[in-house]
């Protein structure tokens, strides 16, 4: 069973240069090959995103710009992680409930997902999520 202990922070490799830094993601950096990339932007500071879990999909979140909080829940414990650096990402394993909140002005959340969009992989009802953890 997946727990909050399975969540990890991954520091991306950075090429430092006086002209500006470059962070990158390539094969071998993440524990999965990503099949979908999407990003959230222009999210009002009072809005919440996420509010779901995935049965099988893994996701890696990065604050490309600005900051936001990710509230993680394994059905027994909750943890909040602040993402605010473009070279640090959060690996969310399957079967972890997530909610994104407190977006700063101009923030951009980049998500790399282990699979293409499949509505059947989403658990969008928190009570159904809790039942799936039993």
Q: Which residues of 60-72 are buried (b: 16+ CB within 10 A; e: fewer)?
A: bbbbbbbbbbbbb
Query: For this structure, is 52 an active site residue?
Result: yes
9-60 confidence digits (pLDDT tens): 999 999 999 999 999 999 999 999 999 999 999 999 999 999 999 999 999 9
What is the spatial distance between Cα 117 and Cα 52, in angstroms, rounded to a whole number? 14
Distance CA(52)–CA(123), nearest Å, equals 6
What is the share, in percent, of the chain residues with pLDDT greater than 90?
Answer: 97
Entry pTM: 0.94
State residue 134's pLDDT score.
Answer: 82
Instruction: Kindly tell me if the per-residue pLDDT of 5 is higher than 90.
Output: yes
In this prediction, residue 1 carries a pLDDT of: 84
Q: What is the dihedral of CA 69, 30, 54, 77, to 10 degrees?
A: -50
Q: Which of 52, 85, 94, 133 is catalytic?
A: 52
């Amino acid at each position: 069973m997946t727990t909050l202990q399975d969540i990890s922070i991954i520091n991306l490799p950075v090429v430092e240069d006086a002209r500006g830094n470059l962070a990158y993601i390539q094969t071998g950096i993440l524990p999965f090959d990503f099949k979908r990339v999407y990003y959230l932007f222009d999210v009002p500071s009072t809005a919440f995103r996420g509010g779901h879990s995935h049965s099988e999909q893994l996701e890696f979140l990065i604050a490309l710009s600005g900051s936001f909080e990710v509230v993680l829940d394994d059905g027994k414990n909750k943890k909040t992680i602040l993402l605010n650096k473009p070279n640090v990402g959060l690996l969310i394993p399957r079967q972890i409930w997530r909610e994104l909140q407190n977006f700063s002005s101009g923030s951009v959340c980049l998500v790399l997902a282990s699979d293409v969009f499949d509505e059947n992989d989403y658990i969008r009802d928190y009570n159904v999520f809790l039942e799936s953890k039993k």
